Amino acid sequence: MNLSNEQLLEIYEYINYARCMGERLEYFIKTGKILGAIHLPKGQEGLQAGLIMTLMDARKNGIKINTNPHTRDQALMSKLIGLQPYADEMLCKTSGINGGTSGEYHMTCVEKGFLPAQGVLGPVWGQNAGYAWALKDQGKTNEVVWGIYGDGASSRGDAWEAMNIAALFKVPMVFIVVNNGWAMANPVEKEAPVQDLSLRAQGSGMRGITVDGNDPIAVFEAMVEANKLAMGGEPNLVEFKVTRWGGHFLGDNQEVYRDTSFLKHLDEIDPVLNYHKKLLAMGLVKQEDLQRVHDEQDAIILKAYEDGMNKPAPTVAEICDPNKVYGGAY
């Protein structure tokens, strides 16, 4: 697929957006504005940019993406449902997408394609496959489901059952495995006997491919193809290999279980920097503009959070209202 200069620059915007999203999350957690255990996306921005590009491209072509973004997909989440309802929800405000009751992990908006997640990792792929099956039954041919899981979550037994059912009934679903090599403090070598988790698709007769998740262009190209196959009755799996720079969540001291010497050489592996280098070499961007574009994206995110700050929070009665809790947040 030959991408136009406009498309390459669109990806440039999204990769900067993803980086700024992570930086601002860290800032607002450390300043006490966002509460809870947040899983930072740092290092996984190439994947975010490629997925967002695919989402936007699908929308232009009248295709609806339904997905349950995984913990580190904050940039994708906000593009899926809109930045302001996303930021307000993160700040626990009534104007948030779920009235300030869901927190990051349980955000849901089926109308906008944000499917419910679960605190228990494993069953969500099954729910996703069921949703895709319903789409097929209802003749909704312009919709597809992305089931996004990490290497750890995709190693659960329920995940295999979901792949089997999806393949058997040829539902429009793409299984996405974000392989960052770690499930909390557990390395992928201790949870999987194979190097490429895409091999698992073969057990259900599905196509499985492994893609460099640091390269947003490769992600976009792989996902456009994966969507096409899935919507044509060939559910399939795409594994994206990425690097988790930090601990499992902010506050997790990964030094005690992981060799972090790679952090001294981030210049070599930083997906944002590498994408910048690519566009610089192509003459599409100029060195002196890089900081400005970063700052533009940062200003958009910062404004959303600042606007959200002064909005009202739900009352205790609202938070505890079971109709709201189970009606909005999963």
Ligand X SMILES: Cc1ncc(C[n+]2csc(CCOP(=O)(O)OP(=O)(O)O)c2C)c(N)n1
User: Stretches 114-122, 195-203, 221-229, 283-291: which one binds ligand X (CB under 6 A)?
Assistant: 114-122
Number of H helices, E strands in the chain: 12, 7
40 binds ligand X (CB under 6 A): no
User: Stretches 87-95, 143-151, 296-304, 313-321: which one binds ligand X (CB under 6 A)?
Assistant: 143-151
120 binds ligand X (CB under 6 A): yes
By CB atoms closer than 10 A (0-12, 13-18, 19+), residue 224 is middle
184 binds ligand X (CB under 6 A): yes
| Residue from 150, 213, 247, 308 in contact with Mg ion (CB under 5 A) | 150
What are 158's two structure tokens?
């329920």
| Residue from 182, 220, 240, 305 in contact with ligand X (CB under 6 A) | 182
150: enclosing H helix or E strand: strand 143-150
| Residue from 85, 100, 152, 271 in contact with ligand X (CB under 6 A) | 152
| Residue from 183, 201, 293, 304 in contact with ligand X (CB under 6 A) | 183
Q: Which residue has the tokens 């981030």?
A: 266
Nearer residue to ligand X within complex by CB, 170 or 258: 258
Amino acid at 48: Q
| Residue from 24, 248, 294, 324 in contact with ligand X (CB under 6 A) | 248
Task: Indicate the length of the chain as a whole number.
Answer: 330
Runs of H (alpha helix) within the chain: 5-30, 45-60, 74-81, 83-90, 124-137, 157-168, 216-231, 266-269, 271-281, 287-309, 316-320, 322-327
Nearer residue to ligand X within complex by CB, 120 or 320: 120
CA dist 115 to 125, 127, 144, 207, 279, Å? 11, 9, 12, 24, 35
243 binds Mg ion (CB under 5 A): no
151 binds Mg ion (CB under 5 A): yes
**How many residues belong to the site for Mg ion (CB under 5 A)?**
5
Residues 6+ apart with CB under 8 A from 132: 66, 144, 145, 166, 171, 172, 173, 230, 235
Residue nearest to ligand X (CB): 150
Nearer residue to ligand X within complex by CB, 158 or 318: 158
Closest of 36, 46, 42 to residue 15, by C-alpha: 46
Nearer residue to Mg ion within complex by CB, 102 or 180: 180
Residue 104's SS3 state is: coil
| Residue from 103, 116, 147, 150 in contact with ligand X (CB under 6 A) | 150
- Pair 124, 114: CB distance under 8 Å: no
119 binds ligand X (CB under 6 A): yes
Which residues is 225 bridged to in the sheet? none
| Residue from 72, 241, 276, 294 in contact with ligand X (CB under 6 A) | 72
**Least distance from C-beta 56 to ligand X, angstroms?**
23
Residue 176's SS3 state is: strand
Nearer residue to ligand X within complex by CB, 194 or 316: 194
Binding site for ligand X (CB under 6 A): 39, 70-72, 119-122, 149-153, 178, 180, 182-184, 244, 248
Q: Which residues of this chain interact with Mg ion, rule CB under 5 A?
A: 150-151, 180, 182-183
